[in-house]
Amino acid sequence: MNNQEIVQKLWKLCDVLRDDGITYQEYVTELTYILFLKMMKEQDTESVISEGYRWDNLVQKEGTELKSFYQELLLKLGKSENNKLQQIYMDASTRITSPKNLETIIKSIAGLDWYNAKEEGLGNLYEGLLQKNANETKSGAGQYFTPRVLIDLIVQLVDPKVGEKLNDPAAGTFGFMISADQYLKNKTDDYFDLDPESARFQKEEAFTGMELVQGTHRLALMNALLHDMEGRLEHGDSLSGNGKWIKNFDVILTNPPFGTKKGGERVTRDDLTFETSNKQLNFLQLIYNALKDDGNARAAVVLPDNVLFESGVGAQIRNDLLNKCDLHTILRLPTGIFYAQGVKTNVLFFKKGRTDKENTKNVWVYDLRTNMESFGKRNQLTMTHFENFMKAYNAEERSKVNDERWNNFTREEIAKKNDSLDIGLIADESLSSYNNLPDPVESAEDAILKLQTAMSLLNEVVDELKAGEEDKVINK
């Protein structure tokens, strides 16, 4: 039995919990609590778990005794002296009300083919389960889940190096960092080619992140541990003062959450130059400011279309980005690759300059959106779809690439468009002539993004009126 088959079996166990009213997302969390104990046993790393509260103790119980013991176990592990274990089980509780259902799940897990699972990698098994949850439209968990193929593509193109410090300030389940770790392990025979200190650095310091949502952070911690990664993985808001430790990184890879801060509130960090309630614009500032200024630090970030064209503070942030960094490539992604079908997204690839002025000379844009097939659950994105983009991206002389989807824009041309980066879309064959008008039928998600942009601008206007800065309002 391979990992894919095990994931299918684990996923079907969710049917057992329907009568308890447990959602898919809650099921994955419940499964995490139990799976972690089993996986720690399989990896011979149970020593961090208090005696009497390990897998064998759990699997021996039945009925109401099992239910009571399981609740006691969750409380005990949530107070563990081991920091990572404590974080995984912090505030843990169960919504499984039926002792019979709990017993069914534990015994089903015990009966899986763990020998083959270990051969393929327990981390890969767990990540497969997370992806299954993200692809399940009923759960809503994959609304902005970054497809693994896109993560792997970005890691490959950014090309992290051994010894570099990497970060994801919106870590999710730690997918970007796990992909980068695997990329480097493949190049170094699982780090066996490295000297002991370099191998220790890769395991304990190279890969870091921060995640706002506690439940997701819990999943990220387990995912990291099962991939033998012990880097700093904080629970908290990167856009608050708690995120100030995110600085001086060699590589940042991320897909920040979409939307605005609740109620239009500003972020609480005091080291961001431009104030806005738009989360993505704040994350963009955080990212390019958190890169080292040695001329080699680089980033790739997934952002929705509104970041490319929002006026006012949006234009100021883009201008700052273009000055401080070389924004060398934009990939216009196809629609339908996220659970929220209408969301239009892009990947921005940039390198931090040694100075803060005039680093971007040209921006190359690849349109993988227009005249593309429809993607979704039944027709998923594969690495094959990116082949032409990869050729263009890696070309020694980009200007010699013969591909209508690949176009160049000078810094001067972008400046004439109020620093708008909503550029590079080719002619749409479904229209009689391409005029860059909005889609004939606007999706709810597009409408929401436009509304968020308008609300963000309105908040800025209100703040400036309160501050007596009417001249700025007139310009807007």
pLDDT at 171 over 80: yes
pLDDT at 138 over 50: no
Q: Which residue would you say has higher pLDDT here, 328 or 1?
A: 328
Render the burial of 25-49: b for 16+ CB within 10 Å, e for the rest: bbbbbbbbbbbbbbbbbeeeebeeb
- Enter the tokens of residue 452: 């968020």
pLDDT in tens, 337-390: 875 567 799 999 999 999 999 999 999 999 999 999 878 767 788 999 999 999
Residue whose pair of structure tokens reads 């009571």 in the numeric block: 68
pLDDT of residue 141: 45
Q: Which residue would you say has higher pLDDT here, 351 or 29?
A: 351
**Which residues, 6+ apart, have CB-to-CB distance to 396 below 8 Å?**
none
pLDDT at 145 over 50: yes
- Enter the tokens of residue 132: 């299954």
pLDDT in tens, 31-49: 888 888 988 888 888 888 9
Measured CA distances, 455 to 6, 281, 470 (Å): 46, 14, 18
Domains with residue ranges and CATH for the chain: 3-135 (1.20.1260.30), 148-448 (3.40.50.150)
Give mean pLDDT, residues 261-274: 70
- Enter the tokens of residue 189: 């025979």
When mean pLDDT is compared over 171-180, 259-268, 321-330, the highest value belongs to 321-330
Range scoring the smallest mean pLDDT among 48-57, 108-117, 242-251, 271-280: 108-117
pLDDT of residue 96: 87
Q: How far apart are CA 134 and CA 114, in angstroms?
A: 24
Please, what is the Cα angle at 73 between 72 and 76, to 5 degrees? 85
When pLDDT is cut at 50, 70 and 90, the band that residue 241 belongs to is very high
Q: Listing from the earlier edge strand, what are the strands of the sheet with 362-367?
A: 233-235, 207-211, 166-168, 251-254, 298-304, 345-352, 325-332, 362-367, 406-410
Render the burial of 151-169: b for 16+ CB within 10 Å, e for the rest: bbbbbbbbebeeebbbbbb
Pick the closest to residue 316 from 463, 467, 418, 456 (CA basis): 418
pLDDT at 210 over 60: yes
Count of positions (residues) in the chain: 476
pLDDT of residue 448: 61
